[in-house]
Structure formats: C-alpha cells, structure tokens
Amino acid sequence: MKKIMIIAFVLAFTGLSYAQTEQDAVKYAETITEDELYDKLSILASDAMEGRETGERGQKMAAAFISDHFQRLGLKAPVKSGTENSYYQPVFLYSAVPGDTYIIAGEEKHKNFDKIIYYGSSSSGAVKETEVLFAGKGSEQDFAQLDVKDKAVIVMVDNPRAWKAPHDLALEKGASLTLIVSHKDDAKFTEYGQLFKGFLEGGRLSLEKPDMGGSDPGVFFIAPSVAAQILDVKKQRLQDAMEKGNLKKIKKGTFKYHMEQKIKEVESENVLGYMEGSDLKDELVVITAHYDHIGKNGEQINNGADDDGSGTSAVLEIAEAFVQAKADGKGPRRSILFMTVTGEEKGLLGSAYYTSNPIFPLEKTVVDLNIDMIGRIDHKHKENPEYVYLVGSDRLSTELHEISEKVNETYTKLELDYTYNDEDHPDRIYYRSDHWNFAKNNIPIIFYFNGVHDDYHQPTDTIDKIAFDMLMERTKLVYHTAWVLANRDQKPVVDKPQSQNLGNN
C-alpha cells in the first residue's frame, strides 16, 4: 500500500517523468552517508583551514577543496574566465578596517572595543564634539518629544539586533549620530561585544567602496555605564525614563568622538558547479551554502563545523548523488547549480554579488534551497532530534511550501519546525542567510537550519559536536526536495510576490 501511495504522489503531485521514479530518488539518496559527510567536514572544519575568514588563506584553501571536488565529479565550470571556464566567480570587496576610534565622556576616553563598538565605515577627520539627547527606544513617539536635528541621540533597545529601525528613524529626523544601548549591564555588553569584535576588528567588508563622509555615519554601540557618563545620570534613571516614556527628565549631554577607517581591496570567490538538465535545461534549481566563517581570535581558530561546514558538506554530497543519477541515465530535467558562497558572515556578500551578477538569468531560476547550520541539535529538540527548522517556504510560493511538506512526508518524515518562519520572530532569520538575496528578487526559497546553540561563532563549534545521523537526514531532505523540483513538469508558482524592501539584515 505504501509503495502505491508513493508512486501516486510522484506521478500525480509532482509530475515527474517516467524516467525519474520514486525508487530512483531513494536509490541515489542512499549515496548520502554519515561517513562521507564526515570525510568532507573533517577537512572543511580542520585547523588547517584557519576558520575560513573571507579573503584570507583558509578561505582560499576551502575554495580550492570545493572546486577540486566539483571537477572530480565532472560538474561543469560555468564561469567565463578569459578563454577558459572556471568554478570560481570572483567577488570583489572592500574592507573598512577600524583605525583610531574612541568616545570621550566627561574626562574618560573609551577606545573602540572597550565599552564601545563602532559599526560603520565613516571617518570623522578631526575630533568632534556634539550635543546628545536621550531618545528612549527610538520610536516615532519618542522622537516626537525631541528636536534631534544636528544632534546625537542615545537609544536603548531590548534586542541588540533591533538597532536598525531606530537608527534609520534618527537619520530621517536629522540626527547626526546614533548611540545604541543594547544591554542592561556592562557585563552582558562586554560578552556580546566580544562576538562583535571578532566580526569587525579584522575589517568590515562591503561590495561598494565605503563613502567615509556619506549620509550614514554609522552607529556606536555603548555600555550602559558610558551612556550614563555621557548624560551625567545614574544608569537606573535611564532605565526608569525609558520604561515610563518620560524622556524630558533626562537632561541633554555632550561628548566627543573620533572615527577612523582604513580602506583596502579584497578578492574572494564563490565556487560554482553546474549540471545541465535535459528537456527543461533552461530553468535552474540553485542549492546554496556558505563556506566562509569568522577566522581566528588570536591563536584560537573558529572552525565553524556547524556554521556552515555542515551546509557546505551537504551541498557536496547532494552534488555527488545527482552526478551518480545522471551517470545512470537518471539526470534531472532542469539544470542544477551547486553554489558555495563566500562572505556570508560579512553581510551575505557572496550571494548578493551573484544575484547582482548572475551567471544564469534570475528569471530562469526556479528556486534556491539554502543550507546554513544543519549539523546540531538545539536545546528545544534534545528529546526529539529528528527535526529541522524551515524558513521561507511559504513566503513567496504556497505551492513550494506544499511540495516541501509532501516531500518530507514521503521520504524523510522529520519534524518541520516553523518557529523561525514567524514574520515577527525577533531573530529575523529570513533576512540573515544567503537565501534572502534570492527571495528579494522574488525567487522562491527554502532555508534549512538546526537552530542556535551555545557554540555559535565560538572556537567550540567543532566537528566532535556534529550529530552526523541528523546531518545525513537533513541533507537527504534537501536532496529529495531538489529532485522533485528539478523533475516536475511545472516550476512552483510565485503567488505572493513581494516588494524589494522586505527587511534588513
């Protein structure tokens, strides 16, 4: 009975051709194994790769490993490079490296990464002194009480990721600079700041050359004690004023600041392997993962086994499965692009570069299946590890979501957890991995994710903590979904197209 139901699903729902049956899909899925995933991840997450920092030696070594794998599989190199073809799509970046940056509050000087963190690419030139106002949570109501034109503002936010909206509003109201208090005590700020420091200290990368005197001066994240110093009040008064919405009780203050950025050029690479389809070869299924990570903290290497060595290993294994299928005469009807991208940790830069400079027309791109962190079990699912978080499957295409659900029901039977798909979820995961650059071009996406864990962006994100049985099952889910999407008669209908301004990273 089960076999009859599966065949009915394949023929009636997906519209697969006779040549690509459910039995074929299962056969090639079995080539995805824990041992092979381990072999690939043990290289990508090794100390030799030095944390795969974008533009650095370790990232280049990882790119060479991936391109060599694609070549050995016999995938086509799709990028024109002079008279030759290459697996590399060069990604040209600019790095803004922080120089002499500090705040002077009262008589005390706070250097960058010591109770303050500057996030931006501006240089102030001389030391500047400015008046500053307390703007509460930075809401419209808060700003309505203040005249912030040509003044700095201090804003307190409940979530460190929620700084962008109040900053944009401050600029709209004419403020000269935004200072963000993101934590209620200095110890929590310092802990969070160490993560930020690793991200920024080696240089903030961008696709566009930074305009150091531009309209957006960037933001200072500051510890609560520094905010209190600047406004000459006790920290508890700041907290009380914000909670009660009475900003006028906090008097204005002044402070001095200096920002310096040094600009250098950086070249990195996306690595692309291409499999041409048959009768629907002009249409393209894209499978992505980012292979960069955050490099080293001094002598400590951030191996990034889960983030995103797990997703990169999955892409390589899925590619192997499709190559074997094609060798047996069971190749996909649509073409497939296996793409590992660079610069995700620096702001989704590799995928942004690709979608701005596509090798294949975006209008012919059917879907992006993006894999970022699928090798671990989060705290919520310790008792039931057979799960995966899905994000975005229903944002643009109802049909894609239905296909995804039916594929899982038929093949892998994982718990599909949509917690992070909630548009109001504070972590805003939909905007924080490489699928976003496809989604904002109205290309349907599915993002596969195992959730956050304590080793995120830490040297402790190592291969010994990977649950290879679940990495394998999640990889098979992506593979089966790609198999169906590459072989069904019709591409998923985009019935919920959205504007280009869906959110910010």
Output the pTM of the full model.
0.81
Grouped pLDDT means (10 residues each) for the chain, 505 residues: 47 46 94 98 98 97 98 98 96 92 94 93 92 93 94 91 91 96 89 79 85 81 94 80 68 92 93 98 98 93 98 98 98 98 96 98 98 98 97 98 98 98 92 97 98 95 98 98 98 90 47
Q: Is 374 helix (H, G, I), strand (E, B) or coil?
A: coil
Contact status, residue 272 vs residue 338, Cβ threshold 8 Å? yes
Which phi and psi angles does 448 have, rounded to 5°?
A: -105, 130
Q: Does 2-92+282-487 match 100-259 in CATH topology?
A: no
- pLDDT at res. 213: 67
Is residue 249 packed enough to be buried (19+ CB in 10 Å), middle (13-18) or exposed (0-12)?
exposed
How far are the Cα atoms of 102, 157, 224 from residue 190, in angstroms, in the given order?
16, 16, 11
Domain range annotation of the chain = 2-92+282-487, 100-259
A 10 A CB-CB count for 174 gives 12
> What is the pLDDT at residue 334?
98
Helix (H) or strand (E) holding 82: none
Domain formed by 2-92+282-487, architecture: 3-Layer(aba) Sandwich (3.40)
Kind and range of the H or E element at 120? Answer: none
Q: Largest alpha-carbon pair distance within the chain?
A: 80
Instruction: Render 160-221 in DSSP notation, one character per residue.
Output: TT--HHHHHHHHHTT-SEEEEE--SSHHHHHHHHHHHHHHHTT-EEESSPP-TTSS---EEE
CATH code of domain 100-259: 3.50.30.30
